[in-house]
Amino acid sequence: MPRTTPLATVPGYPRIGRDRELKRALETYWAGESGRGELDAAARTERERTWRRLAELGLDAVPSNTFSLYDQVLDAVVLAGAVPPRFASLGLDGLDAYFAMARGTGRVAPLELTKWFDTNYHYLVPEIGPATRLHLDPAKPVSEFREALALGIETRPVLLGPASLLLLSKAADGAPSGFAPLDRLDDLVAVYALLLTTLAAEGVAWVQLDEPAYAADRTAGEMDALRRVYERLGALPERPAILVQSYFGSLGDALPVLAASPVEAIGLDLVAGSLPDGDVPGLAGKTVVAGVVDGRNVWRTDLDAALATLRAVRARAGAVTVGTSCSLLHVPYDLDAETALDPQLRSWLAFADQKVAEVVTLAAALRGEDRSAAFEQARAALANRAAAPRVVDDGVRSRLARLTPDDARRGPYSERSAAQRDRLGLPPLPTTTIGSFPQTGDLRRARAAFRAGRLDRAAYTARMRAEIERVIGLQERLGLDVLVHGEPERNDMVQYFAEHLAGFVTTELGWVQSYGSRCVRPPILYGDVSRPAPITVEWVTYAQSLTDRPVKGMLTGPVTILAWSFVRDDQPLGDTARQVALAIRDETADLESAGIGIVQVDEPALRELLPLRGADRPAYLDWSVTAFRLATSGVADATQVHTHLCYSEFGDVVAAIDGLDADVTSIEAARSRMSIVPDVAASGFGRGIGPGVYDIHSPRVPDADEAEALLRRALDAIPGDRLWVNPDCGLKTRTYEQVEPALTALVAAAARVRPASE
């Protein structure tokens, strides 16, 4: 097939289905309610719709293999044959082994799940050891290419690049110390070389290899790895043209490496990143796929600014293709589906399909075609947004201006912990949960009926109270020490708060994949934020009225609210964070006045927003830690502040976690088998800590022995008087059949490990 230079493309597109059809197909398959035929059909339909849609919107270069049944990194594991032996030995066929790696089985733990760079998407972490047998399995990209071709659409297969695949991997268990997955580069490049040859034989004209790992700081050795990969792949006699795609920031030192390599095209994120000022040798011979349309946020593009950027790139590159800054996986499908959004706000926005249309418009304008009507419309929308009174709240602004450093400071921890001990009287190794209990279909239906007006407030309140009563009763029966109300009223920990705060709107169908079949609907933060009325107080105080044990109030922290929303791009994020922090602070004050002795402010996304480049981190940590402290420093010493963070790499933010100054911090630790605990201890962190002993991302149920072993491991690094016992995260995605035995095991393990004196 001819290798023409594309005009307009995108690095990727959502895949869960406009109406989340793939989610349902996966979940019925997993539940054993449907067979492989139905799952295949749903997958094929979604792929076909995507290709047709992208072609119809006007892209001349349509990607394929951006579809996944679970995760594109897991797909790359399969492509490279890097299935860990514990799955290979299960004797499962391809699809079931695939899902076993993603979700675990009764006997075997799944791959570790972790955040995809600084997004809220989670990928499965490949495990690579010196003995991992790498061999090509090209079935997926090949069959998807053929499938599209049969529809008359020639596509560009998209694959995770070999260097990033290894940089995202962890060393397999049992690998000698000093081994790094990147040590296997030459073997993996041989697999990719065979892949490119295979694709060329299929008639593939262009292939896209994603190397997002190079938007982060890299060592000289890692840069050299990149150079070796593309020298070797570039030198293949029979291969498609290669587009190396980056995203989530500038390539830094990796750009000259790629520009000097034999690849044909380089994809750049020109929203989060930019082209460096100085000369880049070799760039003039490359096609630059210029990501000028933001693939991660929902605001309409400033087409004039984007066109100016495109022209500047054209002056320095061999050719320019217009694109989005990253895959559109991170935004909802289509603004047209949001029929309930008010027209003014809608006019400021663009979802995936609107962004594709912007890319096509820009490509036409760059060629000199007249697109003045579209440009005029974009200008008018931008001007309307900039001048809209609903974006500004003078009360919020003046409150922010009056803040002093004391507003973000509590008393000394020693005094706080003494006051809390007296007030709460908890045993050593107190047991608790992270907040949510299983979200049953019945609960979801009740919330939906209330929202739709089919259930009145009194009936809704009665339904939620009944659930709270049940959850409190269960926790008392299981013997937990610090109880929660279970969060039955919350669809989502961010959306729920966004619905009750001024400055946000929520969408009806704006689903974005978080992991596997799980989707979230990020709210849109468009204006100054405030809290018109208490949000959680009635539910938490009701729960407390049912029990003598302490009930912990549950709030979402400011950084997480920002991370899981589409945020405004018209003021510094730190200012937005402080506005949200003040709203949460108001809620902590009201919980405290209502007699609640423990308040947890969740910041699971603190790590996620950490900038990929070290140079940008101090400023981020400064504003994010300040926002958390602002949210939590309004309470008395005797009120215990908890926080919850869930991700496995802790090293990068360990100092910030100390800086949050929470009395108790719960963290995710079960899947990595407590490997992060020594890091925390070594950092000198001296307050309460609860490393998770129950991996809630998997349907597997741990027994008491397993939980006990994890606790004993934690006790090697953390003194018993500061250790808490809890799951990795909230229980909302699990069923009661899983949660009850798991919590029973957790409580039993705590009892076994507790000092005998107790």
Q: Tell me the closest approach of the beta carbon of residue 28 to ligand GLN, in angstroms.
A: 24
Q: Tell me the closest approach of the beta carbon of residue 728 to ligand GLN, in angstroms.
A: 9
Q: Tell me the closest approach of the beta carbon of residue 667 to ligand GLN, in angstroms.
A: 10
What span, in angstroms and rounded, lies between the C-alpha atoms of 573 and 579? 10
Q: How many CA atoms lie within 13 A of 88 on its CB side?
A: 9
Among residues 385, 644, 700, 713, the one that binds ligand GLN under rule CB under 6 A: 644
Answer yes or no whether residue 729 interacts with Zn ion by CB under 5 A.
yes
Q: Tell me the closest approach of the beta carbon of residue 692 to ligand GLN, in angstroms.
A: 10
- Rounded (to 5) percent helix, strand, coil in the chain: 45, 15, 40
Answer yes or no whether residue 691 interacts with Zn ion by CB under 5 A.
no
Please give the helix or strand (H or E) that residue 578 lies within, else none. Answer: helix 573-593
Distance of CA 391 to the CA centre of its chain: 27
Angle at 471 between CA 465 and CA 477, to 5 degrees: 135
- Contacts with Zn ion, 635-674, as mask; x by CB under 5 A: -----------x----------------------------
Cβ neighbors of 419 (< 8 A, separation 6 or more) are: 636, 637, 638
Tokens 């998770």 label which residue? 692
Among residues 233, 730, 743, 748, the one that binds ligand GLN under rule CB under 6 A: 730
435 binds, among Zn ion, ligand GLN, none (CB under 5 to 8 A by kind): ligand GLN
Query: Given 330, 485, 642, 697, which residue is catalytic?
Result: 697
Strands (E), 618-734: 640-645, 664-667, 688-691
The answer to whether 286 and 262 are in contact (CB under 8 A) is: no
What span, in angstroms and rounded, lies between the C-alpha atoms of 356 and 263? 25
Among residues 604, 611, 690, 691, the one that binds Zn ion under rule CB under 5 A: 604
158 binds, among ligand GLN, Zn ion, none (CB under 5 to 8 A by kind): none
554 binds, among ligand GLN, Zn ion, none (CB under 5 to 8 A by kind): ligand GLN
Active site residue 697: yes
Among residues 181, 212, 604, 688, the one that binds ligand GLN under rule CB under 6 A: 604
Convert 403-458 into a string of H (helix), E (strand) and C (coil): CCHHHHCCCCHHHHHHHHHHHHCCCCCCEECCCECCCCHHHHHHHHHHHCCCCCHH
Complex with ligand GLN: residue 320 or 729, whichever CB lies closer: 729
- Contacts with ligand GLN, 459-498, as mask; x by CB under 6 A: ----------------------------x-----x-----
Residues 426-445 that bind ligand GLN (CB under 6 A): 434-436
What span, in angstroms and rounded, lies between the C-alpha atoms of 410 and 392? 30
Answer yes or no whether residue 245 interacts with ligand GLN by CB under 6 A.
no
Please give the helix or strand (H or E) that residue 207 lies within, else none. Answer: strand 206-210
**Which of 225, 292, 287, 231 is closest to 253 using CA atoms?**
225
Among residues 210, 467, 481, 602, the one that binds ligand GLN under rule CB under 6 A: 602
Residues 267-286 that bind ligand GLN (CB under 6 A): none
- Tell me which DSSP letter residue 175 carries: P
212 binds, among ligand GLN, Zn ion, none (CB under 5 to 8 A by kind): none
The letter for the amino acid at 220 is A
What span, in angstroms and rounded, lies between the C-alpha atoms of 688 and 598? 13
Residues 538-557 that bind ligand GLN (CB under 6 A): 554
With CB under 6 A, what is the number of residues at the site for ligand GLN?
13
436 binds, among ligand GLN, Zn ion, none (CB under 5 to 8 A by kind): ligand GLN
Convert 318-364 into a string of H (helix), E (strand) and C (coil): CEEEEEECCCHHHCCCCHHHCCCCCHHHHCCECCHHHHHHHHHHHHH
Residues forming contacts to Zn ion in the complex (CB under 5 A) are 604, 646, 729
Catalytic residue ranges: 697
Q: Enumerate binding residues for ligand GLN (CB under 6 A).
A: 434-436, 487, 493, 554, 602, 604, 644, 646, 729-730, 732
